[in-house]
Amino acid sequence: MKSTIDQLIINSPYKEPEQYWSYDRETHSFTLKSGRRPAGLFKGVVRKYRPDFIIRLKTGCHLILETKGQETGRDRTKLEFLDEWVTAVNCHGGFGKWQWAVSRNPADV
């Protein structure tokens, strides 16, 4: 398998990332943005969601890949909302085709 990574943003618990990827629905592409990513709420606490990987497949589909060890309640909630988001985006049809998957084994990736 051949893969090209042209830009990598590393999320660290010690430092807030200074850039994030933003999806452009006009061009169906990602743009690197400066600043902080918008936040959401989980159990009344502000949380930021950053997928582990967004992979553009040869078919043109975007795959959101989450890598997880032991599953927590927060992970289950995140995946429920991710499933809802992917379904809504695909029903809209204006953002391309999206899928999501979870890998629990590092050897899969």
For 48-76, how does the pLDDT look when each residue is reduced to its tens digit (9 = 90+)?
667 888 888 989 899 999 888 888 887 88
- For 70, the enclosing helix (H) or strand (E) is none
Q: Are 73 and 42 in contact (CB under 8 A)?
A: no
Residue-range domain boundaries for the chain: 19-108
pTM, full prediction: 0.58
For 24-46, how does the pLDDT look when each residue is reduced to its tens digit (9 = 90+)?
767 777 777 776 655 555 555 55
CA–CA gap between residue 38 and residue 18 (Å, rounded): 12
